[in-house]
Structure 1
Amino acid sequence: MKLIIYITIILSLCGIHISHAINDAGNINEISIEAHIEQLYIELENTKAQYQEKYTLISVALSEATQGIKESITTDQKLYWLLEKDQLKEERERLELSELSDLSKIRYIKGLQIIKILYEKTLALDHHFASVSTFREINKIANPNNYPEFKNIKETIGVKADKKKGFNLTNILGNNIYASVAHSFISLFNNEATSRTQKEESLKDVECILDFTLRMHNDLNTIYFETVFLQKSNENIMGELQQLFIDFTKPIKYRISLKECRNSDDWDNVRDHLDTYLEALNTALADDSKRYKAHKMQINLEFPIDRLLQFITQYNAFIDQGAKFYEKFGIMLNSYENETQCASQIPVEYKKLKESIAVAIEKFNTAYKPVEINGSKMKEVLYGLNEYD
């Protein structure tokens, strides 16, 4: 039964399901993470139950041996029961080591699976941040100098400007949103060659553009810079995750990085290294003279799990932070009060940005947030902790 459990979990690590549920295209249907963890939880509980049955049998036998010692009449009888009791205690100790080993193996393999899943999430986040934090697009919709209508007015004003009274801005100030708008207003109002009607028409052509960019300029820049900050934080998370993978696979002597493993789909090789390690552990467990070696090998499987739990806390904190940032972005983008009135002149990029932020908020609360690795059940799955014990 234990062999079946090991094979089942190891195959799940590489995305191969025992049911071989293959669709018409030949791809394996993936179960949800929640279902995967629930199945693993059941496997752990079944393993514990199987060992509990063996503990019960040993406990009954120990009680019989104790009673036999008390009721022994001859020395030979007492010696028999004493030896029987010692053997049962040694058997119980071996059983405890075997149970810890089996549970550690299952948790270790699940830890690898979680690392794999979290890496995919951080890659998706990195792609998202890169798409949102494109400065060229943000700058395009935040600066009126990038709108053809405003450029036309500036050119018209320049042609009709009084050469004696007028002046031109430097390149630096000419690209500054506030200096450029102020200069254009001053030049337009002081231009005697343009009638009042023409001035009002010119303003009407760009009123929505100026209103939008002047109101939203700071908010759009805030979204850009804070998204860059989140992207850098996500890069740090990815670095931590890659280091965690190195620490995690060090005991089984797998030396390839997480990035390379993922890109080359090398999970079968990870499985092979793990199989080799488990064979050595089983050999050590069966030999009383190698009891210390087996204990050390088991600790080497347990220790990376502790690191994984620490990383999960760090990852969740980052996702919570990102969700709050994006909720703020959503409020900023929805704060433009003249959106309906100026709908025809608001750039398409602004609407796309709003849609992207709305989708991101939803993903931060679902796809990116690893809900399945929170709570007491996940702690028990990974670390054997049960708050009700």
Structure 2
Amino acid sequence: MKKLDLLEIRTQLDGIDREIVELFEKRMRLSGEVAEFKIETGKPVYDKEREMQKIDSVTGMVDGGFMKQAVSELFTQMMTISRHYQYKLMAEHGLKGEETFQPVKTIPSSDVRVVYQGVEGAYSHAAALQYFGSDASVYHVGTFEDAMKEVESGRADYAVLPIENSSAGAVSDNYDLLMKYSNYIVAETFLTVNHALLGLQDSRQEDIRTVFSHPQALMQCSEFLNANRDWKQISVENTAVAAKKVIEEGNPSQAAVASEIAARLYGLKILESSINHNKLNTTRFIILSNQRIYREDAQKVSISFELPHKSGTLYNILSNMIYNGISMIMIESRPIPGRNWEYRFFVDMEGNLSDPPIQNALKGISEEGRNMRVLGNY
């Protein structure tokens, strides 16, 4: 048998590709008819059992481990594309899923009570004043969970919680609290963090033996702190609590890593300014309400969902964004309590809940994932 040259091989491949495209178009037309049937009957787009049967069927048509894997991936992607096409058709028929969030012109910010964790002088305090103004009615509680409880119960209109730092990363505990309480993100604010080493008025830097602060603040200043090998670093609830502890205990060998605002509030001396190694260090704070509202001009959607510990599940879920042209801004994962090696994912993406692409993506994620929640649009 004569061996084909490269040109002949490419000519045959081009012919096969034309046939594949024609068959793919035919397959998608039939998928559209499936969507029409599901619209009439109210059936969900995603049929996991049917798709598994299809994969088993097509992989049984080929021999060899590589070819079976390749065919499995090929048909998995075709069925994914088919689902997205069906979601689009269903959206065009007005089937967008439950719309429980209400758009508003502005987020009410006057005559409101705002809660934050910590004490006066904490960065959360500064973030609250930055967003709501210096005349806002703000008060503090002991823990982040206390702040969530205040909002969920209605005792506070809003809570201000840190969620992410540009140096230290996610505030993991607060992601978990978003799942535990029925509060929603309605806004965010970014606060530049500038840590200082604070001591008593008669303290000198060479006197210091113990430094108190929040764990993330200690991490953000680790280069400066670790250069002083004799210093013991102790974690406390937040930076302002550290400052308060130093002034109350009156020990000249103790210092706090906190803001210069805390130094003024508690009468401490600034032993060293700007000790965080990243001078662009910024913390993102979220503003939480118990109301399902979003500004009409909101441009970021935050969601959470769960996935089984199985190859390809995250890729398939994220394809709902890819095929709808949605940009993902952030993804974070947290272990699901009581279910080893299974994870809950938190995703921020660009868009507004009124946008058809966002609605299509959320419908797909809701059907294909587990326990999908919209955490807010802001």
Q: TM-score range by the shorter chain?
A: under 0.3
Q: TM-score, normalised by structure 2?
A: 0.22
Q: Going by fraction, where is strand more abundant, 1 or 2?
A: 2
Structure number, greater radius of gyration? 1
Higher helix share: 1
Q: Which has the higher contact order (CA 8 A, sep 6+)?
A: 1
